[in-house]
Amino acid sequence: MRDCFEKKRTPFYYYDTELLAETLAAIKRETDKHEGWHLHYAVKACANAKVLQQIQRSGFGADCVSGGEIRACLKNGFRPDDIVFAGVGKADWEITTALESGIGYFNVESIPELGVISDIATNMNKVANVCFRINPDVGAHTHAGITTGLAENKFGIAKEDMIDVIRLSHRLPNIRFVGLHFHIGSQILEMDDFEALCHRINELQDQLEAAGIREVSCINVGGGLGIDYEHPDDAPVPDFKSYFETYAKYLKLRPHQHLHFELGRAVVGQCGSLITRLLYVKQATKKQFAIVDAGMTDLIRPALYGAHHHIENLSSNSPQQLYDIVGPVCESSDTFAKDFPLAEAKRGDLLAIRSAGAYGEIMASQYNCRELPVGYTTEDFLSSSEDMPTADTE
Ligand SMILES: *Cc1c(COP(=O)(O)O)cnc(C)c1O
């Protein structure tokens, strides 16, 4: 790929659509074993149009957290009733957009939100399907910034309020209660965390039945499965088997119930790389810096979460040296890696920052008046084959 990459202005995102296809097929293989299991891709991980289209064509629905994401999904072929809509702060226009387009259901995160959806639905003479997002108070072994299922997090409705909220919804004629929604966090690699969620859901289902509430048709367990950032080539396709088997084993679904998943990172994370060019190698007293043309504006995860990404020099096979790999933005946190081993690098080399398909391009900003990075897929390089060097010019 490196020769093709040379033709494009850096930095840019590269999405390996063959790997994406393999990943989607691996998910399908596991979920198709079970009747009534559905996957809604969590669009916030990556909303690149070509990536969305490929995911849609593979038969996935979408999990949106904003009106903008709903629009992006409709534009890229998702059927409205395959879209679900979560988020703690849904604005009126977003609720209206969702009702107008006829999405599958809302994942409602508070009582005030339920009231507003009810009012808007009544005015529009529509019925809104709702799942309640319940905060399961289950911890996850992940970064504090991305746990969402603890009582102290801002997400969802306290589990103690679950029954009252459902009863309240029964009194609202333009609201139809369809189920329960959960999401405990992101980049979770311990199957125990998902198992704990299953046990909590089983408890809550028992409580509902004891209270005579039997119309829960949908259990949505969110997403959160992590990927291997250290060794992207060892596990290009995440361990979906263990993940889905955990739910099959521990979650006690009632016969009529559908199980919905909302994976984001695990679907697209390993398929994307941020391709950047080395501008300067700068020798400092204690370090050498590899200064690249991508910055925290293109990929903010290292600056925001201290996230680790594997980085490789695509242009060199020389022995490795240690570099601090940094961007050009005027912030010290604009650092991709410290003391990272890289094949000896020189000005002009192309570097790949791996595992950047999720929460990469979509989080890009224009700080320092920088341009947003472009996202290319494998097909973009195949289709422009006319301007590639032919074998005899190489
Ligand atoms: C972010 C999010 C997801 C996806 O999380 P991943 O860790 O990327 O799988 C799923 N559901 C909800 C409600 C989310 O906010």
352 lines ligand 1 (CB under 6 A): no
Contact criterion met (CB below 8 Å) for 48 and 361: yes
Compute, in angstroms, the gap from residue 155 CA to the centroid of ligand 1: 12
pLDDT at 391 (0 to 100): 46
pTM for the predicted model, two decimal places:
0.94
Would you say the CB of residue 131 lies under 6 angstroms from ligand 1?
no
Question: Rounded to the nearest whole angstrom, what is the distance from the C-alpha of residue 134 to the centroid of ligand 1?
Answer: 14
Residue 185 Cβ inside 6 Å of ligand 1? The answer reads: no
Q: Does the Cβ of 309 fall within 6 Å of ligand 1? A: no
pLDDT in tens, 156-195: 999 999 999 999 999 999 999 999 999 999 999 999 999 9
Contacts of 241-247 spanning 24+ positions with Cβ under 8 A: 241/30, 242/191, 243/30, 243/191, 243/194, 244/30, 244/31, 244/34, 244/37, 245/30, 246/191, 246/194, 246/195, 246/198, 247/194, 247/198, 247/221
**CA 292 to ligand 1 center in whole angstroms:** 30
Give 284's contacts (C-beta < 8 A, 6+ positions apart). none
Report whether residue 251 contacts ligand 1, using a CB cutoff of 6 Å.
no
* Rounded distance from Cα 41 to ligand 1 centre (Å): 9
Digit-coded pLDDT (tens) for 233-275:
998 999 999 999 999 999 999 999 999 999 999 999 999 999 9
**Which residues of the chain, if any, have pLDDT below 70?**
140-152, 383-394
Question: Across all residues in the chain, what is the average pLDDT?
Answer: 94
How many Å is the Cα radius of gyration of the chain? 23
Ligand 1 centroid, distance to 63 Cα (angstroms)? 8
Atom number in ligand 1 closest to CA 265: 8
What pLDDT is recorded for position 147? 64
Tokens 């097909």 correspond to 379
pLDDT given for residue 261 in this prediction: 98
CA of residue 223 to ligand 1 center, whole Å:
5
Note the pLDDT of residue 392: 46
Mutate to test the pocket of ligand 1, among 40, 186, 355 (most ligand atoms within 8 A of CB): 186
Percent of the chain residues past pLDDT 90, beyond the cut: 89
Q: Is the CB of 220 under 6 A from ligand 1?
A: no
- Ligand 1 pocket, residue 357 CB under 6 Å: no
Q: Check if 183 has its Cβ closer than 6 Å to any atom of ligand 1.
A: yes
Q: 63: Cβ below 6 Å to ligand 1?
A: yes
Work out which ligand 1 atom sits closest to the CA atom of 146: 7
